[in-house]
């Protein structure tokens, strides 16, 4: 299990990285934390000829708050997100989610930019980007682009990024103080990619949802911002309403089959998550009764 031979350069600036990417085109790959790229190379599932290591670009690492925008540099590590007071204050959903990403050794190296660029449909952070209404900032030879999260993820391991583009940062609106969130995933072992997961951000006023963004993951080829959430906004949620939303959610899902679960099981689990999420966000244990498909 040795990677095939490749050339390697350590970028000294974003401009340098972009130059290298332009020069080597499709043959090149960006290396960030290496926690997805290197296993794929060692298994020879991937054999890039040129590695552009962006690991030393300190300018891409860190979390800042300006006004009501939270900016996370692409090289910010999972472990940084977990510890960041800014994240805890303004996007606690992300902190809760990151605790489910892999294990400490991997979180010490893996980066948010790498996770988003990897676009694994079972990955936590992409779904959080949908729930948090993030904007992804990319820079390429022709300058910078701002891409809405729900336009960024294009399929299994596919994104809107061009091969010569670098993911620079993500921007999140600072969540209102009274905003609440819910995160849960079903994984066989803690730290595994989810069988099905849900990252939700909500505004609850007077026992009703004033806003509800449901970012499901591992329910299709990309994370899903569930439109069915709309059925729960500004209404008194009853078991009947929830059941309606649940069947509407079912329509939106196109789950894949793998060794962990059949599509039917994923649909079932997504609906369990919806029910538990709504019940938890509205503090309504009465909504949490048995689910059947």
Partner 1 sequence: MTSTSANPETLSALDRPNSYIGKTVPRPNLDRLMQGRGLYVSDIELPRMVHVVFVRSPHAHAKIIGIDASAAKQMPGVIAIVSGGELAAVITPWVGVLSHLKGMKSAPQNAIAIDRVCWQGEAVAAVVANSRAQGEDAAELVSVDYQELDAVTDMRTALDPTTAVIHASLGDNLAFERNHDAGTVDQALAESDEVIEAEFIFGRHTGVTLEPRAVVADWNAAEARLTIYQGSQAPHMVQNIAALHLGLKESQVRVVCKDVGGSFGIKVHIYADEMAAYALSKLLRRPVKFVADRVESFNTDIHARDHRCKGKIGVKRDGTITAFEIDDLTGIGPYSMYPRTSAIEANQVVNLVGGPYVTRNYRARARVVFQNKNVMCQYRAVGHPIACSVTEGLVDLAAMKIGMDPIEIRRRNLIADDAYPCASPSGLRFEQLSHHAALAKLVRMMDYDALRAEQSALRARNIHRGIGIASFIEVTNPSAAFYGVGGAKISSQDGVAVRLDAQGSVICQTSITEQGQGSESLTAQIVGSVLGVSMDRVRVILGDTDNTPYGGGTWASRGAGIGGEAALQATKVLRKNILDVAAAILQSTAGELDIVNNVVVTVVDGAPRIELSELARIVYFRPDTLPPGIQPELMATRHFVPREYPFAFTNGVQASWLDVDIDTGFVKLLKHWVVEDCGTIINPQLVDEQIRGGVVQGLGAALFEKCVYDERGQLTNANMADYLVPMSGEMPDIDVGHVVSPTLESELGAKGAGEAGTAGAAAAVTNAVNDALKPFGAIITEIPLTPQIILTALGRI
Ligand X SMILES: Cc1cc2nc3c(=O)[nH]c(=O)nc-3n(C[C@H](O)[C@H](O)[C@H](O)COP(=O)(O)OP(=O)(O)OC[C@H]3O[C@@H](n4cnc5c(N)ncnc54)[C@H](O)[C@@H]3O)c2cc1C
Provide the binding-site residues for partner 1, judged by CB under 8 A.
Answer: 1-5, 43-44, 186, 188-193, 195, 259-262, 264-265, 268-269, 272, 290-293
- Specify the 3-state DSSP secondary structure of 190: coil
**Tokens coding 76:** 């910010």
Binding partner of residue 83 among partner 1, ligand X, none, CB cut-off 5 to 8 Å per kind: none
d(CA 154, CA 121) in angstroms, rounded, equals 10
How many C-beta neighbours within 10 Å does residue 171 have? 17
18 near 141, Cβ under 8 Å?
Answer: yes
| Minimal distance, residue 6 CB to ligand X, in Å | 12
Residue 275 as a binder of ligand X (CB under 6 A): the answer is: no
Binding partner of residue 178 among partner 1, ligand X, none, CB cut-off 5 to 8 Å per kind: none
- Cα pseudo-dihedral 195, 196, 197, 202, rounded to 10: 180
Nearer to ligand X by C-beta: 161 or 270? 161
Parallel, antiparallel or unpaired: strands 50-53 and 28-31: parallel
Cα–Cα nearest to 110, from 35, 193, 54, 170: 35
Binding partner of residue 188 among partner 1, ligand X, none, CB cut-off 5 to 8 Å per kind: partner 1
Residue choice 81, 87, 91, 124 for contact with ligand X (CB under 6 A): 124
Residue 291 carries which DSSP code?
-
Binding partner of residue 128 among partner 1, ligand X, none, CB cut-off 5 to 8 Å per kind: none
Residue 102 as a binder of ligand X (CB under 6 A): the answer is: yes
Residues binding ligand X (CB under 6 A):
29-37, 39, 54, 74, 101-102, 106, 109-111, 113-115, 117-118, 120, 123-125, 161, 166-167, 191-193
């Amino acid at each position: 299990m040795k990677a095939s031979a490749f050339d390697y350069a350590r970028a000294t600036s974003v401009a340098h990285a972009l130059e290298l990417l332009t020069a080597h085109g499709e043959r090149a790959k960006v290396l960030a934390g290496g926690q997805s790229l290197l296993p794929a190379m060692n298994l020879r599932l991937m054999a890039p000829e040129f590695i552009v290591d962006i690991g030393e670009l300190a300018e891409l690492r860190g979390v800042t708050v300006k006004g009501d925008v939270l900016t996370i540099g692409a090289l910010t590590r999972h472990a940084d997100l977990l510890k960041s007071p800014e994240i805890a204050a303004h996007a606690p959903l992300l902190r809760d989610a990151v605790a489910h990403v892999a294990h400490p050794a991997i979180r010490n190296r893996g980066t948010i930019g790498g996770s988003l660029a990897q676009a694994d449909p079972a990955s936590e952070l992409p779904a959080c980007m949908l729930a948090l209404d993030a904007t992804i900032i990319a820079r390429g030879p022709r300058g910078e682009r701002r891409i809405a999260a729900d336009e960024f993820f294009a399929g299994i391991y596919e994104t809107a990024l061009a091969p010569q583009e670098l993911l620079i940062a993500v921007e999140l609106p600072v969540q209102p103080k009274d905003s609440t969130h819910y995160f849960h995933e079903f994984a066989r072992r803690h730290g595994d990619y989810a069988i099905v997961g849900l990252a939700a951000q909500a505004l609850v006023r007077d026992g009703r949802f004033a806003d509800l963004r449901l970012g499901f993951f591992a329910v299709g080829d990309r994370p899903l911002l569930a439109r069915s959430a709309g059925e729960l906004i500004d209404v008194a949620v009853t078991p009947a309403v929830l059941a309606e939303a649940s069947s509407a959610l079912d329509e939106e899902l196109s789950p894949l089959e793998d060794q962990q679960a059949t599509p039917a099981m994923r649909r079932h689990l997504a609906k369990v998550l919806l029910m538990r999420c709504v019940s938890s966000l509205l503090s309504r244990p009465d909504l949490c009764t048995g689910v059947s498909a």
